[in-house]
Structures are given as structure tokens and as C-alpha cells.
Amino acid sequence: MSIGHTLLGLLESGPRHGYDLKRTFDEKFGQDRPLHYGQVYSTMSRLLKNGLVEVDGVESEGGPERKRYAITDAGITDVSQWLAQPEKPEPYLQSTLYTKVVLALLTDRSAAGLLDTQRSAHLRMMRILTDRKRQGDLADQLICDHALFHLEADLRWLELTAARLDQLAKVVAP
């Protein structure tokens, strides 16, 4: 995720302080990985330097000064271009799971045991995500669905690989 573009997109609804940006980011996108304040302010500093945001005002209200940031026309254009670009599909051609299976075969370890252990870990995570999905709002449900679909694909691969272990062993460790 591009944090800079996400913060810019949040600024399109109106100027905000760094604290407000962090809070909104965490509410909308950061349930599992909230932003650190330092990350917000370093990102805002970079966006300011690049002309994508400007300081819309400074308030102190008896405490430290707080800058209020506003998106510039260049920032709006940048977000529009980012949103129009499709994300690169991740084909996972260098899968860690595949590497572990091959190494298990090459070192006379139990590749079948590795696949069983991995299957259990995937199923455990799927149960956690399914419970979270049941209790979550629509945004949480969609995030969980995305993760569940990826885990389901991994499970299909684990089953296929388990069925072909003998063939794979002949190919990788002749």
C-alpha cells in the first residue's frame, strides 16, 4: 500500500492535521497495522517537499504547534494517476512454500510433514479470519475475504503438491 497516496486521498475531503490523518487511516485501513506517528509526519514532510500538499494553517491552542495540511492540485493529479494504475498481479512464482518443499526433499526431510504442518497453519488462520469476518463491518468482511481467497488458493496448491510429491522428488533429487 502506498501510504503517501492514501494520505493524499484522505486529504481530498478537506485539510487535516497529522493526528487526524493517522486516526482516519487507522480506522479505514490500519486495523491490523496502524501507522506510527513518525511515519505520518515523515510522509507529510516528503509530500510537502514534493509540492503534493501544503500547510493550510498552524494552530497551537496552548500546546505544541500543529500543522494542518491540504492537498494541492498536483497532489490531486498524483492520486488520480495512482488510482487509475492497476496493481501488479502477484504471481508468487518464487514461493517460499515451494522452496521449503524442495529443500525438504533434497535434505531427506519429510516434505509431506511440512505440507501437513503448513495446511494446519493455513486452516487455523482461515478460522481466525472467518470469525473476524462474521463479527466485522463490511470493510472488515471484504479485507477478510481477500485474505481467505488467497489462503484457499494456497490450500489447493498444498493438496496438489502433496499428491505429486513422489513425482517432484524424482525431478529435484534424482
The backbone torsions φ and ψ at residue 111, rounded to the nearest 5 degrees and listed phi first, read: -70, -35
Is 132 within 8 Å of 32 (Cβ atoms)?
no
With 70 as the cut, is the pLDDT of residue 7 above it?
yes
DSSP string, 98-136: HHHHHHHHHTT--HHHHHHHHHHHHHHHHHHHHHHHHHS
Q: Is 55 helix (H, G, I), strand (E, B) or coil?
A: strand
Q: What is the pLDDT of residues 134-151, one digit of tens each?
A: 999 998 999 999 999 999
The number of residues in the chain equals 174
Torsion over CA of 88, 93, 97 and 102, rounded to 10 degrees?
Answer: -170
For the chain, the straight-line distance linking the first and the last C-alpha, in angstroms and rounded, comes to: 42
pLDDT, the chain, mean: 91
Q: What is the pLDDT of residues 22-81, one digit of tens each?
A: 999 998 887 778 899 999 999 999 999 999 999 998 887 777 788 999 999 999 999 999
pLDDT of 20: 93
Is 22 within 8 Å of 40 (Cβ atoms)?
yes
**Sequence-ordered alpha helix ranges (H) in the chain:** 3-11, 18-28, 37-49, 73-84, 96-106, 111-135, 138-163, 165-172
pLDDT of 51: 97
